Structure 1
Amino acid sequence: MRIHKNLLSLLIVSIVLINTTACSQRISALNDTLKLAFIGDEDTQLSTQQVNNIPYASIYARIDDIPQAFIVLALAEPKFTLTSTPTVTELKWLSADKAMLVTVNGRLVRTNNLLTGDLVSVESNKPDPILLGLHLDSTPKTWTRTIDWQPGYHFGYSVTSHFNFVGLENILINDIQTQAQHYTEVVSVEHLNIQYQNEFWLTPATGNVIKSRQKITPNQPFIEITLLKPFAS
């Protein structure tokens, strides 16, 4: 149980101002939001109204079978990539003790200060099919990139993904039954002879990821993310 609580603490809600204009928001609103999160042996579960009343993008996050936690967006930043399109915005979800999950359209691209280890970087000369939109027939269904992770000296490992459409499913998002396209991503790390499967659920009309279950590195546990309130750019 001690290990479980330590891991859960990495995903405690953190109320961080998204930009300088947010400084004028009432401190009482931040205090009210803080009261909605808790640490314990059960999932953090907010009502639809509570989620909608919070003026920040938000997610549920869970490491393996540990109870889920509610986290708000800390920062949204543009990121320069080797490919000029589409535009990439990194969303940074920060916990109270400075652990961070960084996503691009639902894909975990970097982490910091996780107890189990961190994804340092993802590099490719081709855009991620998830960013292009897996729902489009024109989107490639394979992708190769290199990843770096810690602890240890794990740099430049080649990783290949194959995406497969599973079907349309109804999933529960913020207490609402939501139709989603379910895709699996079979990930192969040839040098290590390791293979695992990530899962993504997309909004059919846009291809935006609303739920995922993915590993950041071959030897890390799965992280499940459910998007409650999207970032409005």
Structure 2
Amino acid sequence: MLKKRISHSILRLLLLSATTLFVIGCSQKITSVNDTVRLALQGTADMHKSTYDITQLPYASTYVRINNQSQLFMVLALAESATGETLTNAHSTTTPPLLKWLASNNGMLITQSGRIIKTVNLSEGNLLATHSTSPDPLSLGLHLATTPKQWQRTIDWQPGYHSGYQLDSVFVFDHAEVLTINGKSVPVLRFNENVLVKQLNKHYSNTFWIEQQTGKVVKSLQYIAPSLPRVEMTILKPFN
């Protein structure tokens, strides 16, 4: 479960950064970090936003549920390139952007191509880093026959000293279905990612729902790390 309060130090850092930091919404710049903090503060447990409210907000947004806890509403606080450059839209870089989703209680999820690659300020522990020498199949499009269905990466997480654990993934197509997201019917392909952690002799599975035409992840169920909670994400308004 995410921490209950936004720390004064983080809030102060966000406010002081307002002169240099552009917070990214959907296809446009956010002109004030203060606006993002204010919107994030509106996010509470069991949050449900109307289709109208989500459409009117100039921010990319997502619903998040950690394990079986209440649903949270998170806004996109920042989009960056792999080199740390602030992005105004998804087409500003040739590599998948890093998206930083902010919750009301100072928690943050960082995703790339729909995968959680890092977390900040989660009470039960955090994914510190994700490394791979080959592209994530999610970034290539699982809907394409040419996309490899096997992948290898290493991750670091806490609590405890967990560094350089190797994860071997196999992606398996499950079935096609139609999801209703933000009042719209979205045809998707469901893929299961079967993960093996050899050092721990442990298996687990992630699930990704991708748009049939674009291959973009619109919903996912992902374990942050082998001993950390599962996160459900539903993208309400994507970063375009």
Which TM bucket (shorter chain)? 0.7 to 0.9
**Deviation of the 1:159 alpha carbon:** 0.4
| Alignment match, 1:18 | 23
In structure 1, how many angstroms separate the alpha carbons of the residues matched to 2:179 and 2:164? Answer: 36
CA contact (8 A) 2:126 2:157 kept: yes
CA RMSD between the two structures = 2.9
| Alignment match, 2:212 | 204
**Deviation of the 1:9 alpha carbon:** 4.2
**Deviation of the 1:170 alpha carbon:** 1.2
What's the TM-score once normalised by structure 2's chain length?
Answer: 0.81
1:138 aligns with 2:146: yes
Unaligned runs of 5+ in 1: 1-5
Identity of matched residues, %: 42
**Deviation of the 1:34 alpha carbon:** 6.3
In structure 2, how many angstroms separate the alpha carbons of the residues matched to 1:178 and 1:44? Answer: 22
| Alignment match, 2:50 | 47
Structure 1 residues 22 and 141, CA, compared in 2 at 3 Å: closer, same or farther? same
**Deviation of the 1:10 alpha carbon:** 7.8
Point out 4+ residue stretches in structure 1 off by more than 2 angstroms.
6-11, 14-17, 19-27, 33-39, 95-98
The aligned amino acid for 2:215 is G
What's the TM-score once normalised by structure 1's chain length?
Answer: 0.84
The equivalent position to 1:95 in structure 2, one of 95, 100, 103, is 103
1:38 aligns with 2:44: yes
Structure 1 residues 57 and 163, CA, compared in 2 at 3 Å: closer, same or farther? same
| Alignment match, 1:74 | 77
Aligned length: 217
| Alignment match, 1:174 | 182
In structure 1, how many angstroms separate the alpha carbons of the residues matched to 2:74 and 2:177? Answer: 25
Structure 1 residues 72-104: Cα deviation after superposition (integer angstroms, max 9, x where no partner): 100000015xxxx96121000122332210001
Structure 1 residues 195 and 35, CA, compared in 2 at 3 Å: closer, same or farther? closer
1:218 aligns with 2:226: yes
Unaligned runs of 5+ in 2: 16-21, 84-92
